[in-house]
């Protein structure tokens, strides 16, 4: 395995140092795409499924780690870093407060409080687990989801819902902070 890795690194180094690419724009583009780590789009994707056994809408939301760190750092005026050991537990209250302020869920005309259960890191994303307790399968869901809109005008928060064997999608952004679906 180590021999393969060394061979790949050697080939990669030879490729980058070779004059196969004409010097100039194409070489610059190649190196820029390899070295660039920041993403150029701002999108959160959430999946919500009604679980009749527990009487709740169960929501899983994904955000880029650096974006959420930036939003929370601005709130508390100190640098938040999720990749440090124990940081997700340390900042659980802060994450909870942020999402309680940024996510409002109305089920069948009634505002239902959210319960932030926890989160985990997956590659460059933070995955959040949220429950919304409801007594029966909803007929109408309205959401106001403004996470990260205070930082990024391009931010979009997409929520896929599965209720009554139907799939519907909500999309919120800076111009449309509230969306509604009926089942």
Q: What is the pLDDT of residues 110-158, one digit of tens each?
A: 999 999 999 999 999 999 999 999 989 999 999 999 999 999 999 999 9
Question: Is residue 58 scored above 70 in pLDDT?
Answer: yes
Q: What pLDDT score does 2 carry? A: 42
How distant, in Å, are the alpha carbons of 34, 65, 149, 150 from that of 174? 31, 20, 6, 9
pLDDT above 50 for 13: no
Which pair of structure tokens corresponds to residue 34? 């390899």
Q: Calculate the average pLDDT of the chain.
A: 85
Domain extents in the chain: 2-35, 43-182
**Contact between 147 and 127 (Cβ < 8 Å):** no
Q: Are strands 125-133 and 114-122 parallel, antiparallel or unpaired?
A: antiparallel
**Overall pTM surpassing 0.85 (yes/no):** no
Nearest to 126 by CA among 154, 152, 104, 147: 147
39 pLDDT band, cuts 50/70/90, is low
**What's residue 38's pLDDT?**
59
């Amino acid at each position: 395995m180590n021999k393969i890795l060394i061979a790949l690194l050697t080939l990669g180094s030879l490729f980058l140092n070779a004059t196969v690419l004409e010097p100039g724009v194409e070489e610059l583009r190649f190196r820029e795409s390899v070295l660039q780590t920041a993403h150029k789009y701002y999108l959160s994707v959430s999946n919500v499924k009604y679980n009749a056994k527990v009487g709740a809408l169960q929501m899983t939301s994904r955000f880029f780690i650096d974006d959420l760190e930036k939003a929370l750092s601005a709130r508390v005026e100190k640098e938040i870093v999720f990749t440090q050991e124990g940081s997700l537990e340390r900042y659980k209250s802060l994450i909870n407060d942020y999402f309680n302020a940024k996510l409002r869920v109305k089920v069948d005309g009634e505002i239902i409080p959210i319960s932030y259960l926890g989160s985990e890191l997956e590659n460059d994303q933070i995955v959040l687990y949220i429950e919304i307790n409801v007594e029966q399968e909803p007929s109408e869901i309205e959401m106001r989801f403004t996470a990260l809109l205070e930082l990024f005008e391009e931010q979009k928060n997409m929520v896929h819902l599965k209720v009554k064997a139907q799939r519907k999608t909500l999309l919120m952004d800076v111009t449309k902070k509230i969306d509604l679906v009926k089942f």
